[in-house]
Amino acid sequence: MEKNTKKIFGKVPAKVFIFLSILIIVVLGAVGFKFFIIDSFVASYEAKVVKLLQKQALKLSAEEATLLSTTFFNFPTKTNPLFDNQTQLQSYVRSFGESFKRLVIVTDMNKRIVADSSGKQVGSIYKFDRKEEVEKTLKDGKPRGYLQKKNNDMPEMLVVVLAMRDRDSVIQGAIIFSVPHTK
């Protein structure tokens, strides 16, 4: 006596069809989950690498900004520094920015821009930091990196701000320096 079993498509028993369908769904789910986990891991790793590169770029930019600051207060002479001659300072900053394709902004203690690599911001108050990073650096002398706000003349970019100290280590202003692209 033959059992009367339901068949799908006239050939495959219904129980076998259901079992195979569930098996396929489970396998596809497992493969999809694995790719999701791997993709998340890769994205996490990539974010860590980018953050490390940005940290290194900030460190290098801070060192470069320190050299510029030293130049501003010690050349051509200590008694007649570049910082005190706004025309020459602007010319030097503009030339440096063009040569190295970097943003350089020099401010006084009131965040007034005394020189910048584009030449378009001189005389205005610097207001492109998001959390008063420049003001904090002017007060405590600590360098900071941040994402500068976009404006008409400048794109949004990663910058470092450093206190500029004269030959007696007194803070005289700030230098804002773009960080090279890390991506």
Q: Does a structural domain hold residue 30?
A: no
Q: Does a structural domain hold residue 32?
A: no
pLDDT band at 183; cut points 50, 70, 90: very low
Predicted model pTM: 0.71
Which range marks the domain in which residue 91 is found?
43-178
Q: What is the pLDDT of residue 89?
A: 95
DSSP notation for 23-70: HHHHHHHHHHHHHHHHHHHHHHHHHHHHHHHHHHHHHHHHHHHHHHHH
Q: What is the pLDDT of residue 65?
A: 84
Mean predicted confidence (pLDDT) in 160-175: 92
Number of compact structural domains in the chain: 1
pLDDT band at 1; cut points 50, 70, 90: very low
Q: Does a structural domain hold residue 171?
A: yes
Is the pLDDT at 136 greater than 80? The verdict is yes
- Among 40-49, 88-97, 115-124, the least confident range: 40-49
Q: Report the C-alpha gap between 133 and 136 in whole angstroms.
A: 5
